[in-house]
A = this chain, B = another copy of it.
Amino acid sequence: MIQQIEISLPPMERGFHLITDHVVEKLHPLPEKGLLNLFIKHTSAALTVNENADPGVPADLDYIMNRIVPERDKNYVHTVEGADDMPAHAKCSLNGVSLTIPVSGHRLNLGTWQGIYLCEFRNRGGKRKLVATIYS
């Protein structure tokens, strides 16, 4: 059985934002056994799973991604949409747009310290659309 819904996320600041609860409450009830695929329909934001407890972690992830893909490199060709745009595209591919997570016992089978993050790489990314597909 397949269920599919679109989830709209409100505009968020540039950075890494925990969205586990926001996503899970849209999906209830989850099946006894299956998989959830989350897909973000954008090219300058991404989805990742990372540490859900210390707010220092998303802050450092944002810093590290900014260091790996710096803005204002003179070799960039795609610059018309602002200095944050091309780096956002590269960070998008490095983190990924599609997450598949097991569902077990009617819950996401995440580790104790795992949460789902929206990675917003634009200064003003606006609303972001996800597609959630559940197989059971």
A77 touches B60 (CB 8 A): yes
* Bound-complex Cα distance A102 to B56 (A): 33
Please report the total number of A residues contacting B with Cβ < 8 Å: 60
Contacts of A112 in B (CB 8 A): 41
Residue from B40, B43, B60, B100 within 8 A of A90 (CB atoms): B60
* Bound-complex Cα distance A2 to B37 (A): 15
| Contact residues, A64-85 vs B (CB, 8 A) | 64-65, 67-69, 73, 75-79
Does A50 sit within 8 A of B, measured CB to CB? yes
Residue ID in chain B nearest A39 by CB atoms = B102
A95 touches B93 (CB 8 A): yes
Contacts A59-B77, A60-B89, A68-B68 hold; do A51 and B41 have CB atoms under 8 A apart?
Answer: no
- Min Cβ gap A78→B in Å is 4
A90 touches B64 (CB 8 A): yes
Q: Which residues of A contact B (CB under 8 A)?
A: 2, 4, 33-35, 37, 39-44, 48-51, 54, 56-57, 59-61, 63-65, 67-69, 73, 75-79, 86, 89-90, 92-102, 104, 109-114, 129, 131, 133, 135-136
